[in-house]
């Protein structure tokens, strides 16, 4: 079954991930309509895909020849395009940042549930070839995770273009990065954290470094709790581009029962066990964008409605809120599993 798509926004990942993936998956998707708050960009994409350029997201969502909506960036309208899709009964693929308040996510979850539509949030780290291979190694060679380190070093605000009407605060963007890292750690461990600790450096409204420590229940009775240390830093000025890209740390380092692995997204994995060093380059695997859109196609065409990604996003936002409380109180906070 070929899905007819409407695209809302064309974000930073458009040229590298979404555009080539839609080209490769023409047997499953057909782009019928596009709306962008940058009209020239939207018109160019519409011509390329033989689609209609719409002058508003509501016009796009209400089209009878659109089966599902891909929201590819944070527009100034916020969640309104998703709510419009709920009203129209159209499935949603959310690829924008998670820079929204937790209570908004809870409200959206209720609306999606009431609408009965499929909703998929884009978690690219989950579907990166290196992550999928890491999960295989955990199950077969490396054993249960024990320690995880993730760090995201990003340029300062000066290098990020500002969008009219969109919150340009560095704190919101840092939080969006941390939500992705929290989800990644939860996915790799395969469990929910039991407690959260956190520290920040810099102003509360614009931290230049934020570290979060997640403690997960032991995977076996004979093992200690699993600890994940993740952080996001904007501590190198954008005026120093060489420093920003100098010796970037691995996206994830993980210590397991019987080995250690270093993950460089999206396709490089180096791991060590008693036999020594193993280096895997997964360039020939299906790219992340195609993996994600293939999963979305299955979610929409399946008889089983997909809601798990939205629930995962809500859980990760709750964990970030608890991390914020840990910073403010200066003490480690318990995660109430019943609330998850």
In a domain, 139, yes or no: yes
On whether both 198 and 325 belong to a single domain, the answer is: yes
On whether both 194 and 329 belong to a single domain, the answer is: yes
On whether both 130 and 198 belong to a single domain, the answer is: yes
pTM over 0.75: yes
On whether both 47 and 67 belong to a single domain, the answer is: yes
Contact 214, 198 (CB under 8 A): no
Look at residue 102 in the predicted model and tell me its pLDDT. Answer: 67
On whether both 143 and 254 belong to a single domain, the answer is: yes
* Lowest pLDDT segment from 28-32, 105-109, 281-285: 105-109
In a domain, 13, yes or no: yes
Residue 13 neighbours by CB under 8 Å, 6+ apart: 72, 95, 289
In a domain, 313, yes or no: no
In a domain, 338, yes or no: no
Contact 196, 326 (CB under 8 A): yes
On whether both 254 and 301 belong to a single domain, the answer is: no
> Max Cα separation, the chain?
60
| DSSP bridge partners of 121 | 94
Q: Between 265 and 157, whose confidence is greater? A: 265
CATH number at 86 reads 3.40.50.720
On whether both 92 and 134 belong to a single domain, the answer is: no
Q: Residue 129's closest CA among 262, 282, 270?
A: 282
Q: What is the 3-state secondary structure (H, E, C) of 40-82?
A: HHHHHHHHHHCCEECCCHHHHHCCCCCCEEEECCCCCCCCHHH
**Chain segment 180-196, per-residue pLDDT in tens:** 999 999 999 999 999 99
Look at residue 101 in the predicted model and tell me its pLDDT. Answer: 66
Look at residue 159 in the predicted model and tell me its pLDDT. Answer: 42
On whether both 231 and 248 belong to a single domain, the answer is: yes
On whether both 275 and 133 belong to a single domain, the answer is: yes
Look at residue 99 in the predicted model and tell me its pLDDT. Answer: 65
Contact 230, 151 (CB under 8 A): yes
Look at residue 56 in the predicted model and tell me its pLDDT. Answer: 94
282's enclosing H/E stretch is none
Instruction: Please determine, for residue 313, whether its predicted confidence score (pLDDT) is greater than 60.
Output: yes
pLDDT-derived band at 223, boundaries 50, 70, 90: confident
On whether both 51 and 157 belong to a single domain, the answer is: no
CB count in 10 Å sphere of residue 220: 9
Look at residue 109 in the predicted model and tell me its pLDDT. Answer: 86
In a domain, 314, yes or no: no
Strands of the 145-153 sheet, one edge to the other = 276-281, 268-273, 260-264, 252-256, 145-153, 226-233, 206-216, 195-203, 333-334
Look at residue 330 in the predicted model and tell me its pLDDT. Answer: 93
Q: Between 291 and 246, whose confidence is greater? A: 291
* Token digits of residue 22: 């839609």
User: If you average pLDDT over every residue of the chain, what do you get?
Assistant: 89
What gap in Å lies between CA 58 and CA 262, rounded to an integer? 44
On whether both 79 and 107 belong to a single domain, the answer is: yes
In a domain, 93, yes or no: yes
- Report how many domains make up the chain: 2
Q: What is the mean pLDDT of residues 108-134?
A: 93
CATH number at 260 reads 3.30.360.10
In a domain, 310, yes or no: no
Instruction: Please determine, for residue 103, whether its predicted confidence score (pLDDT) is greater than 80.
Output: no
Domain that holds residue 174: 125-285+320-333
In a domain, 311, yes or no: no
**Chain segment 38-66, per-residue pLDDT in tens:** 999 999 999 999 999 999 999 999 999 99
DSSP assignment of 95-123 equals -S---S-HHHHHHHHHHHHHHT--EEE--
Contact 335, 319 (CB under 8 A): yes
Residue 123 neighbours by CB under 8 Å, 6+ apart: 180, 183, 184, 187, 309, 312
Contact 252, 149 (CB under 8 A): yes
On whether both 130 and 227 belong to a single domain, the answer is: yes
pLDDT-derived band at 97, boundaries 50, 70, 90: confident
* H runs (alpha helix) in 190-287: 241-244
* Lowest pLDDT segment from 9-13, 21-25, 195-199: 9-13
* H runs (alpha helix) in 138-282: 170-189, 241-244
* Lowest pLDDT segment from 153-167, 252-266, 271-285: 153-167
Look at residue 337 in the predicted model and tell me its pLDDT. Answer: 59
User: What is the number of alpha carbons within 13 Å of residue 181 lying toward its C-beta?
Assistant: 27
């Amino acid at each position: 079954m070929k899905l007819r798509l409407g695209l809302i926004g064309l974000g930073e990942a458009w040229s590298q991930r979404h555009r080539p993936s839609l080209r490769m998956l023409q047997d499953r998707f057909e782009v019928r309509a596009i709306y962008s708050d940058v009209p020239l960009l939207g018109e160019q994409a519409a011509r390329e895909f033989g689609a209609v350029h719409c002058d508003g997201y509501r016009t796009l969502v209400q089209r009878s020849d659109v089966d599902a909506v891909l929201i590819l960036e944070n527009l100034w309208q916020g969640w309104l395009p998703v709510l419009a899709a709920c009203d129209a009964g159209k499935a949603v693929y959310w690829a924008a940042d998670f820079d929204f308040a937790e209570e908004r996510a809870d409200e959206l979850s209720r609306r999606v549930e009431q609408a009965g539509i499929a909703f998929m949030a884009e978690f690219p780290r989950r579907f990166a070839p290196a992550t999928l291979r890491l999960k295989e190694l955990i199950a077969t060679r490396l054993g249960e995770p024990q320690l995880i380190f993730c760090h995201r070093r990003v340029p300062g605000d000066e290098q990020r273009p500002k969008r009219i009407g969109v919150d340009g605060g560095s704190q919101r963007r840092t939080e969006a990065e941390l939500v992705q890292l929290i989800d990644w750690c939860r996915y790799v461990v395969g469990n929910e954290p039991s407690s959260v600790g956190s520290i920040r450096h810099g102003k509360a409204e614009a931290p230049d470094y934020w570290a979060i420590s997640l403690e997960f229940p032991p995977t076996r009775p004979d093992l200690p709790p699993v600890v994940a240390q993740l952080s996001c830093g904007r501590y190198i000025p954008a005026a120093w581009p060489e420093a920003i890209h100098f010796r970037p740390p691995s996206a994830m380092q993980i210590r397991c029962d019987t080995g250690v692995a270093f993950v460089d997204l999206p396709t490089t994995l180096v791991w060590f066990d008693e036999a020594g060093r193993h280096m895997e380059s997964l360039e020939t695997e299906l790219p992340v964008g195609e993996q994600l859109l293939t999963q979305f196609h299955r979610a929409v065409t399946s008889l089983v409605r997909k809601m798990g990604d939205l629930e995962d996003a809500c859980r990760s936002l709750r964990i970030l809120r608890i991390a914020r409380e840990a910073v403010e109180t200066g003490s480690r906070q318990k995660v109430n599993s019943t609330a998850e």
